Amino acid sequence: MKRVLLVLLACLLVITSLAACGSSDSTATSTAGSSAAVSSTADGSAAGAEGLPGRFAEKKSITVEVFDRAVDGGTKAEDNFYTNWIKEGMLRDYNVEVKFIPVPRWTEQEQMNNLLAANNAPDVCLTYSYPTVQTYANMGGILDLAPLLESNKQLLPDLYSLVGEENMTWDKDPDKGTIWAIESMLFQNKRINTFVREDWLNKLNIKEPTTIEEFEAMLKAFQSNAKTLLGANADKIIPFLLSVDVGWNADHLITSYIPDSFVNSDKDYYINGFDDRHLLAPGYKNGIKKLNEWYNAGLIWKDFPLYPAGDKNIDNQMKAGYVGAMIHNWDYPYRGGDDSIIANMKKTVGPDAAFIAVEPFKNDAGVYRKLLSPPIDRKIFFPATNKEPVASLLYLNWISKLDNRKFLQIGEEGVTHEKTPDGLIRTIATTGDKYMNSPNNIDYTMTINGLDLGDPDLTMKSVALGYAGVDAKYVTKAYELTSKDAVISKHINVGEIKAEEGMGPALKEKRDNMLTQAVTAKPDKFDSIYDNAFKDFLTSGAQAIIDERAAKYEKYYGK
């Protein structure tokens, strides 16, 4: 009996000891030097009631960057139905309090520079500019994510499942092993389309243009028939719309002048590919020269240099029905529900008003080449001022969970979407607090850009129904053309390019100014303006980047 009691007592002591260890913060997951401690208070079976694995015993607080697009009829980017939904979920599942910090979308690089310089950046940041991240990493202003990811990987199954190992380590330094940013997933690799007014084509009995000659003839027909197309507003006609971001809003035209041999050379494309508008590619100048011809012929909006990128006046020209053709994001005319370009055109012009995607710009190989990026999107990083890196990683995991990101992307059934009899998701136009300020709420799903319903076929078919009030045929055609004959640049990882440090915003500004001045130049001044500005672009830092990229490429990939 004594032996039995001693055994029972020993078992009881072991169980008590194990229970104490299970509830103690001493078993917290390693945070690689972070002061944050995660308690193992829940497992998969208890996640519903007690939160997700890694839930903190004591409440933590983090701040998260969100793009502010200043959308007409939209909501406050940092305080709306969706931000509150995220806050409630993070508090419930991880005991983490979240506060959103708005950053203007169209000046995000400049704003992020200011926040980082002032040691006032949010705990979770995102940007489209990796050189900005690298610059501040070199100054000690960014956390190295490599040890954090390694020691907390088991707590991040949804993040790894969505983004993938490659994107998680996309920017890993091949020598040092540092990871300054995670590359979010570009789920649908779509970029740009060329759009023309379908109703104007029909009214003037013109076929969809399939060559640059036909496209130019179409623009001239719009110009000479302005009275027929716009009546009393004939003087407001804009055959082709451009903005100060010339490299974006004329992409298909310009890149059709780039030789196909350059596009298909991994080495040349990488060395000269740091400018995302492809300015350094051979043949680029010829594309700008064509725009210069059109501008001086009155085919391009003469006032485009007056408005910065993202200015509402640009969209207003389309909404009013004054624009005949444009090049923009692959689905641009269809975004925004009741405030979309196409919805406004139908109100102001008539029910037949519509933009349709076309392919008029062949390259020297006779194909409508599209230049697409790899499946990476925004760069997510943590500033050195982040005192809760594990809580920040758990935030990324939470918004990557399929159920969570699916809700953020499509919202509530009967409010922002409806299900068709065959299970497809059709978007419903909505206003008020549940309005989405960005397509599929990409500003709140920072780890993914592009609709993902968990089933590829369902997703693809639902994309066409994701634009309230828009005939699916327009979206389907745009979806197909934007990636037809595409070349996706390969992942070339040579580590840090020191010459790029701090140069992103400055070179971008020089490029945009250069192209705007070249397009609007008098024909006899075009060559001198373009050549001098291009030389200045090179001597201002671009040539040093080219040279370092060439040397690094040969170091890791050979000559």
Which of 547, 542, 503 lies closest to 134 in space, CA to CA? 503
The span from the CA of 91 to the CA of 240, in Å, is: 50
**Into how many domains does the chain fold?**
2
| 193 vs 209: CA distance, rounded Å | 14
- Mean pLDDT in residue range 6-34: 35
CA geometry: angle 408, 410, 414, nearest 5 deg: 120
Q: Are residues 315 and 275 in the same domain?
A: yes
Please provide the average confidence, as pLDDT, over all residues in the chain: 90
- Looking at residue 63, its pLDDT comes to 98
Can you give the residue range of the structural domain that contains 337? 192-372+488-557
| Strand residues in 137-262 grouped as ranges (E) | 182-186, 192-197, 238-240
What mean pLDDT do residues 367-396 have?
Answer: 96
User: For residues 190 and 331, is the Cβ–Cβ distance under 8 A?
Assistant: yes
424 in any annotated domain = no
Same domain, 360 and 503: yes
Domain termination site, one of 361, 386, 406: 406
- For residue 18, pLDDT over 60 is answered with no
Per-residue pLDDT tens over the stretch 129-165? 898 899 899 999 999 999 999 999 999 999 999 999 9
Average pLDDT over residues 214-228: 98
Q: Quick one: pLDDT at residue 132?
A: 87
pLDDT value of residue 48: 38
Confidence of residue 9 (pLDDT cuts 50, 70, 90): very low
149 and 201 share one domain: no
Contacts of 196 (CB under 8 A, 6+ apart): 208, 209, 218, 324, 325, 355, 356, 358
Answer yes or no: is pLDDT of 17 > 90: no
Q: What is the pLDDT of residues 294-344, one digit of tens each?
A: 999 999 999 999 999 889 999 999 999 999 999 999 999 999 888 899 999
Q: Closest by alpha carbon to 197, among 481, 471, 474? A: 474
134 φ/ψ angles, rounded to the nearest 5 degrees:
-65, -40
For residues 121 and 269, state if they share a domain: no
Confidence of residue 50 (pLDDT cuts 50, 70, 90): low
Q: Which two tokens stand for residue 117?
A: 């310089």
Q: Give the residue among 355, 376, 6 at the shortest CA–CA distance from 196.
A: 355
Q: pLDDT tens for residues 499-519?
A: 998 888 899 999 999 999 999
**Over 50: is that where the pLDDT of 20 sits?**
no
Q: Report how far apart, in Å, the C-alpha atoms of 421 and of each of 50, 60, 414 are.
A: 36, 44, 14
Residue 523: pLDDT band (50, 70, 90) is: very high
Structure tokens at 145: 């994510």
Q: Is the pLDDT of residue 21 over 70?
A: no
Give the closest residue to 260 by CA, choosing from 369, 361, 359, 360: 369
Dihedral, CA of residue 410, residue 414, residue 418 and residue 419, to nearest 10: 110
Q: Find, among 379, 378, 387, the residue nearest to 96 by Cα.
A: 387
pLDDT reading at 27 higher than 70? no
| For residues 494-499, average pLDDT | 93
Whole-angstrom Cα distance, residue 248 to residue 270? 19
- DSSP H or E stretch at residue 102: strand 96-104
In sequence order, what DSSP letters do the residues of 102-154 get, joined into one string?
A: EEEGGGHHHHHHHHHHTT---SBEEES-HHHHHHHHHTT-B--HHHHHHHHGG
Which pLDDT does position 110 carry in this prediction?
87
Looking at residue 220, its pLDDT comes to: 98
**Same domain? 115 vs 158:** yes
Higher pLDDT, 21 or 420: 420
Query: How far is it, in rounded angstroms, from Cα 369 to Cα 194?
Result: 13
**110 lies in a domain?**
yes
Task: State both tokens at 453.
Answer: 């319903």
pLDDT of residue 336: 86
DSSP single-letter state for residue 124: B
Q: What pLDDT sits at residue 230?
A: 97
- Answer yes or no: do 199 and 100 share one domain: no
CATH number of the domain encompassing residue 205: 3.40.190.10
pLDDT reported for residue 170: 96
In the chain, % of residues over pLDDT 70: 91
Of 217 and 11, which is predicted with more confidence? 217
- Distance, in Å, from the CA atom of 397 to the CA atom of 374, rounded to the nearest integer, reads 22
Does the pLDDT at position 538 exceed 90?
yes
**Do 144 and 56 fall into the same domain?**
yes
User: Could you tell me how many helices (H) and strands (E) the chain has, helices first?
Assistant: 24, 14
In a domain, 21, yes or no: no
DSSP-H helix ranges across 320-455 = 341-348, 389-400, 402-410
Q: Is the dihedral of CA 153, 158, 160, 161 positive or negative?
A: positive
Q: What is the pLDDT of residue 102?
A: 96
The reply to whether 508 falls in a domain is yes
In a domain? residue 298:
yes
Q: 200 with 289, same domain? A: yes
- When pLDDT is cut at 50, 70 and 90, the band that residue 49 belongs to is very low
- Say whether both 75 and 199 belong to one domain: no
pLDDT grade for 47, boundaries at 50, 70 and 90: very low
Separation of alpha carbons 12 and 320, rounded Å:
79
Has residue 6 been placed in a domain?
A: no
Q: Taking 50 as the threshold, does the pLDDT of residue 413 lie above it? A: yes
Domain-embedded: residue 174: yes
**Predicted local confidence at residue 73, as pLDDT:** 84
Write out pLDDT tens, residues 81-137: 999 999 999 999 999 999 999 999 988 888 988 999 999 999 999 999 898 899 899
| Closest C-alpha to 149, from 29, 56, 37 | 29
Is 461 domain-assigned? no
| Residues 316 and 211 occupy one common structural domain | yes
CA distances from 431 to 130, 182, 333, 336, 440 (A): 35, 33, 19, 10, 15
In this structure, what are the phi and psi dihedrals at residue 163, rounded to the nearest 5 degrees?
Answer: -75, -35
What tokens were used for 102? 């708005």
User: Do 209 and 334 belong to one domain?
Assistant: yes
Q: Does residue 396 share a domain with residue 347? A: no
Q: How far apart are CA 325 and CA 552, in angstroms?
A: 42
Residue 410 pLDDT > 50 = yes
